[in-house]
């Protein structure tokens, strides 16, 4: 037995922010952003929250799977931008979709969050502890951006993606997860500082800092190796894979990975042109778009791969 994805869903905030919109409020241009990253526009929250995006994505995934919230036994949300320190986003989703039987918690593995949630849920299902799970990747990154730092804030967007998992005879085939904490400062955002009476630091809020070129080099050197490991575990080559559904950070990263694996870029679907980088949400939103557009055919081999903050990475091979 293994674990199969039986339904997908996603939700983007209503407000579209184009590169030209950003150029009106900071020193940037559509040309710079598009040519360096492939991003044309992104969605940013106004009234929406991480939990509200998750709830809509989860309900769409449940409908896609033909299930109800009451049937769900486990909920894991990959996020680094939950609305509360506690309750977790997963607990908010549990209440929002009426999944009263489900255990629910969040996992923070930044842009690899969906892959880590998938692996964790798979382990629970394979251990026979639960029969099904709802996993999500969701972010409202716009609240942790430094909107005076044009080198980071133009890259990211907000949104949520979901998948329903079930024990089945086909589905997930192989996994590779990894981290290099020694390089964590390349992409960082401090949590609230300690304000206890023993500490004299003033309270200050931090925002995302990124050494863009370092993260770029990390991605293009680590991701092909991670994908190579899952293919090796399955005894197949990149040519046997129909789709490489990668974290959407930069179109140039996708092109570089395709080149290293010696596969056509056409096997690397892209949605960062209209979504930007949504960290843990990128992979499940793209998977849902492909599912709803009828691009995924039963029996096709698909590689999922996430990478980013931590630094962390995770890849999975599955049969649709
Ligand atoms: N608009 C216009 N100019 C900008 C800009 C913006 N939004 N952001 C930076 N610049 C300028 C810089 O100030 C710099 O100007 P200078 O040469 O006069 O100093 C110039 O553009 C080049 O900046 P640099 O940071 O060297 O650009 P780059 O070629 O490395 O591209 C990234 C920047 C962020 C697009 C690229 O490094 C990248 O994609 N990295 C990976 C990041 C990523 O994907 N992170 C998430 C992983 S989960």
| Residue from 112, 216, 221 whose mutation best tests the ligand 1 pocket (most atoms within 8 A of CB) | 216
Residues 6+ apart with CB under 8 A from 32: none
Distance 37 CA to ligand 1 centre (A): 9
The average pLDDT across 312-320 equals 98
pLDDT tier at 194, thresholds 50, 70, 90: confident
HSE-CB for 225 with a 13 A CA cutoff: 9
66 — alpha (psi -120 to 50), left (phi > 0) or beta?
left
pLDDT of residue 23: 97
pLDDT tens digits for range 135-176: 999 999 999 999 999 999 999 999 999 999 999 999 999 999
The gap from C-alpha 85 to its chain's centroid, in whole angstroms, comes to: 20
Distance 23 CA to ligand 1 centre (A): 15
Q: Under a CB-based contact definition with an 8 Å cutoff, are residues 267 and 243 in contact?
A: yes
The gap from C-alpha 128 to its chain's centroid, in whole angstroms, comes to: 26
Ligand 1 atom closest to the CA of 308, numbered from 1: 48
CB of 35 sitting under 6 A from ligand 1: no
Residues 6+ apart with CB under 8 A from 3: 121, 122, 125, 126, 165, 166, 167, 168, 171, 172
Q: Under a CB-based contact definition with an 8 Å cutoff, are residues 315 and 175 in contact?
A: yes
pLDDT tens digits for range 73-96: 999 999 999 999 999 999 999 999
pLDDT of residue 297: 96
pLDDT of residue 222: 97
pLDDT of residue 202: 66
pLDDT at residue 28 tops 80: yes
Distance CA 91, CA 126 (A): 23
Distance CA 73, CA 59 (A): 15
Percent of all residues in the chain with a pLDDT value above 90, rounded to a whole number: 95
The average pLDDT across 40-63 equals 98
Ligand 1 atom closest to the CA of 247, numbered from 1: 48
Residue nearest to atom 31 of ligand 1 (CA): 36
Residues 6+ apart with CB under 8 A from 250: 36, 37, 38, 155, 216, 219, 272, 277
pLDDT of residue 205: 81
Distance 197 CA to ligand 1 centre (A): 40
CB of 191 sitting under 6 A from ligand 1: no
Supply the residues annotated as catalytic: 111, 247, 277
CB of 272 sitting under 6 A from ligand 1: no
Q: Determine the 3-state secondary structure of 264 from DSSP.
A: coil
pLDDT at residue 59 tops 70: yes
* Tokens, residue 149: 């730092």
pLDDT tens digits for range 247-292: 999 999 999 999 999 999 999 999 999 999 999 999 999 999 999 9
pLDDT of residue 104: 98
Residue nearest to atom 47 of ligand 1 (CA): 308
pLDDT tier at 203, thresholds 50, 70, 90: low
Q: Determine the 3-state secondary structure of 24 from DSSP.
A: coil
């Amino acid at each position: 037995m293994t674990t199969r994805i039986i339904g997908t869903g996603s939700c983007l905030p209503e407000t579209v922010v184009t590169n030209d919109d950003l150029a009106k409020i900071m020193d940037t241009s559509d040309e710079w952003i598009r040519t360096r990253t492939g991003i044309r526009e992104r969605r940013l929250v106004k009234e929406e929250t991480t939990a509200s995006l998750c709830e809509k994505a989860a309900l769409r995934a449940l409908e896609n799977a033909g299930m109800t919230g009451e049937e769900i036994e486990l909920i894991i949300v990959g996020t680094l931008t939950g609305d509360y320190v506690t309750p977790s986003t997963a607990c908010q989703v549990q209440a929002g979709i009426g999944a009263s039987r489900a255990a629910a918690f969040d996992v923070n593995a930044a842009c690899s969050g969906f892959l880590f949630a998938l692996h964790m849920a798979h382990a629970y299902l394979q251990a026979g502890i639960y029969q099904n799970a709802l996993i999500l990747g969701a972010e409202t990154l716009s609240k942790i951006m430094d909107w005076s730092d044009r080198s980071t804030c133009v890259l990211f967007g907000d949104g949520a993606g979901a998948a329903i998992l079930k024990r089945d005879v086909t589905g997930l085939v192989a996994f590779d997860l990894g981290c290099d904490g020694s390089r964590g400062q390349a992409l960082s955002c401090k949590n609230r500082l300690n304000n206890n009476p023993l500490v004299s630091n003033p309270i200050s809020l931090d925002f995302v800092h990124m050494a863009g070129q370092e993260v770029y080099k990390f991605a293009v050197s680590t991701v092909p190796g991670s994908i190579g490991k899952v293919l090796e575990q399955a005894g197949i080559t990149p040519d046997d894979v129909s789709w490489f559904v990668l974290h959407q950070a930069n179109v140039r990263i996708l092109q570089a990975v395709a080149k290293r694996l010696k596969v056509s870029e056409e096997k690397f679907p892209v949605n960062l042109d209209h979504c930007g980088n949504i960290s843990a949400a990128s992979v499940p939103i793209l998977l849902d778009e492909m599912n709803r557009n009828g691009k995924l055919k039963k029996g096709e081999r698909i590689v999922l791969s996430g990478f980013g903050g931590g630094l962390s990475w995770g890849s999975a091979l599955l049969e649709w």
